[in-house]
Amino acid sequence: MKTITVEDLKAKLDAGEKINLLDVREPHEHAAFNIGGQLFPLGLVQSLQLDEIEHLKQEEVFIYCRSGNRSGQACLMLEPYGFTNVINVVGGMLAWQEKFPE
């Protein structure tokens, strides 16, 4: 599984790169704080309800959660279903908020 630090991800965003962000947290977590990712809770990944993200199979997709655990699980679950370039955001939104307090 590929990984990226929050610093490197923020640098991509700050540079204006068009990237695919997938937030696998729960809706209340996403509502409280997010960095613009598409909300797709881990439960949808676990139940293989992948139609909504099918178009991302061949794309580079940065997956994040609260701490990096659920996003790591999501990466491992998506890879066998043809998602060839999923990248786990190490430390998740906890690391993001620690490094980049608002």
DSSP string, 27-74: HHHHHH--SSPEE--HHHHHTT--GGGGGGTTS-EEEE-SSSHHHHHH
Whole-number percent of the chain with pLDDT over 70: 100
Domain at 2-99, CATH homologous superfamily: Rhodanese-like domain (3.40.250.10)
Phi and psi (nearest 5°) for 37?
A: -75, 160
Average of per-residue pLDDT values in the chain: 97
Q: What is the pLDDT of residues 30-66, one digit of tens each?
A: 999 999 999 999 999 999 999 999 999 999 999 999 9
The catalytic residues are: 65
Q: Delimit the domains of the chain by residue range.
A: 2-99
Furthest C-alpha separation in the chain: 37
Reported confidence tier of residue 77, pLDDT bands at 50, 70, 90: very high
As given in the structure block, the two tokens for residue 1 are 């599984």
